[in-house]
């Protein structure tokens, strides 16, 4: 099972090779463990990490579970721990359940850096690099409020509870929506990491609330599912859709008017800074405990601006 889980990690990511940087025997080995394989946000993060690893002369390899799943990521972590890389950049798929396996990495002597998601246990992870996800949730709420004329019913979707990033996005969203007296949050849904399930749930919400004004999808996969439901119900554009992330497909949908706004992150920068922190730690230099990367609301109006280009996910 491990082999098939791992085999999926690298296809399509910045070329086809699974490692980069110094390839000579002496190069320091760093492994990136993504939250899920073949997913545009993590592909972009790998691109940034790969570019920086080449600059810093460290050897980077990438591995990932085939699905967003604690058992699968645990298998990946266990196998990586056994190979004893000098450092591991990891996006844990659950903020509590992954603590045990990640302690094993530490125990085997790898320096651990969190990229994107993180653990609740603050004693683990030399550095944590992510978007300010709470702020991103607030920004999503403000953006959606504007789209719906500051009134009406809204729904929020995130894959699962227990994921550091999306939990913070939902919390930020709810906090901000509570400040808008004419907006009512009618439902908070967790369809899991499958677009099809998100579509089913949004279909249900649309029949319960035919006057639904807006949807916030807290990541790419929930956004994909919500968009498909609106299409099926012929409510594209009528129900405003704000999503996290900015994959090439999401940007295409934004331009086509299927999505009204994207809250975009800087996965390239997260990857680059992850390598920099790992290299600092390995060199006995000071590390930064917490680094927050930028977020921006992308709409049809600003998507083609030159300053927005860096927020559109490179593959
Ligand atoms: O939104 C990103 C990432 O930040 C989050 O932790 C999980 O979902 C994505 O990978 C998008 O699918």
ipTM of this complex: 0.99
CA distances, 11 to each of 19, 85, 180 (Å): 12, 21, 44
Three-class DSSP category at 155: strand
Using alpha carbons, select from 224, 185, 178, 186 the residue that is nearest to residue 207. 186
Distance 274 CA to ligand 1 centre (A): 16
Tell me the mean pLDDT in the region 73-79.
98
Do 37 and 13 meet the contact criterion of CB atoms below 8 Å apart? Answer: no
Residues near 111 by Cβ (< 8 Å), separated by ≥ 6?
Answer: 86, 87, 88, 126, 278, 281, 282
> In the chain, pLDDT over 70 holds for what percent of residues?
92
Residue 22 has phi, psi (to 5 degrees) of -60, 120
The torsion defined by the Cα of 273, 279, 283 and 288, in degrees rounded to 10, comes to 20
pLDDT in tens, 228-259: 999 999 999 999 999 999 999 999 999 999 99
Do 78 and 103 meet the contact criterion of CB atoms below 8 Å apart? Answer: no
**pLDDT band of 19, cuts 50, 70, 90:** low
Distance 294 CA to ligand 1 centre (A): 15
Q: Identify the DSSP state of 149.
A: T
Please say if the pLDDT value at position 25 is more than 80: no
Do 164 and 119 meet the contact criterion of CB atoms below 8 Å apart? Answer: yes
Do 240 and 213 meet the contact criterion of CB atoms below 8 Å apart? Answer: yes
Do 195 and 221 meet the contact criterion of CB atoms below 8 Å apart? Answer: yes
**pLDDT band of 27, cuts 50, 70, 90:** confident
Tell me the C-alpha distance between 206 and 288, whole Å: 45
Using alpha carbons, select from 271, 291, 287, 306 the residue that is nearest to residue 58. 271
Substitution site in 32, 33, 35, 263 for ligand 1 pocket (most atoms within 8 Å of beta carbon): 35
Do 186 and 195 meet the contact criterion of CB atoms below 8 Å apart? Answer: no
**By alpha-carbon position, which residue is closest to atom 4 of ligand 1?**
116
C-beta neighbour count of 91 within 10 angstroms = 27
pLDDT at site 15: 53
CA 277 to chain centre: 19
Please say if the pLDDT value at position 1 is more than 50: no
**By alpha-carbon position, which residue is closest to atom 8 of ligand 1?**
219
Tell me the mean pLDDT in the region 93-107.
97
- For the CA of 41, the closest atom of ligand 1 is 10
pLDDT at site 20: 53
Please say if the pLDDT value at position 134 is more than 60: yes
Please say if the pLDDT value at position 194 is more than 50: yes
Distance 185 CA to ligand 1 centre (A): 23
Please say if the pLDDT value at position 114 is more than 70: yes
Substitution site in 132, 245, 266 for ligand 1 pocket (most atoms within 8 Å of beta carbon): 245
Tell me the C-alpha distance between 224 and 198, whole Å: 8
Name the pairing type of β-strands 212-217 and 152-157: parallel
CA 259 to chain centre: 18
Please say if the pLDDT value at position 8 is more than 50: no
Distance 41 CA to ligand 1 centre (A): 6
Tell me the C-alpha distance between 277 and 90, whole Å: 13
Three-class DSSP category at 46: helix
């Amino acid at each position: 099972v491990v082999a098939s889980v791992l085999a999926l990690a690298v296809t399509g990511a910045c070329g086809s090779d699974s490692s980069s940087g110094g390839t000579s025997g002496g190069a320091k080995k760093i492994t990136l463990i993504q939250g899920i394989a073949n997913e545009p946000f993590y592909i972009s993060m790998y691109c940034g990490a790969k570019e920086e690893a080449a600059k810093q002369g460290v050897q980077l390899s990438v591995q990932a579970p085939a699905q967003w799943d604690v058992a699968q990521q645990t298998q990946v972590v266990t196998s990586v721990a056994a190979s004893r890389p000098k450092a591991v950049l990891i996006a844990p798929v659950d903020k509590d359940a992954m603590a045990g396996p990640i302690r094993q990495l530490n125990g085997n002597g790898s320096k651990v850096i969190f990229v994107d998601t993180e653990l609740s246990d603050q004693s683990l992870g030399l550095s944590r690099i992510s978007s300010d996800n709470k702020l991103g949730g607030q920004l999503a709420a403000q953006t959606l409020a504007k789209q719906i004329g500051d009134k009406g019913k809204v729904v929020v979707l995130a894959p699962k509870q227990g994921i550091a990033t999306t939990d913070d996005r939902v919390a930020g969203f709810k906090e901000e929506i509570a400040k808008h007296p004419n907006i009512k949050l009618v439902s908070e849904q967790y369809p899991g990491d499958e677009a099809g399930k998100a579509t089913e749930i949004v279909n249900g919400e649309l029949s319960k609330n035919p006057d639904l004004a807006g949807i916030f999808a807290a990541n790419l996969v929930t956004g994909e599912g919500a968009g498909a439901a609106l299409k099926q119900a012929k409510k594209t554009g009528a129900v405003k859709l704000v999503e996290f992330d900015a994959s090439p497909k999401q940007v295409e949908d934004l331009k086509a008017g299927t999505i009204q706004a994207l809250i975009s992150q800087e996965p390239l920068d997260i990857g680059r800074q992850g390598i920099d922190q790992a290299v600092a730690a390995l060199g006995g230099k000071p590390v930064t405990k917490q680094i927050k990367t930028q977020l921006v609301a992308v709409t049809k109006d600003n998507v083609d601006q030159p300053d927005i280009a860096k927020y559109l996910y490179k593959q």
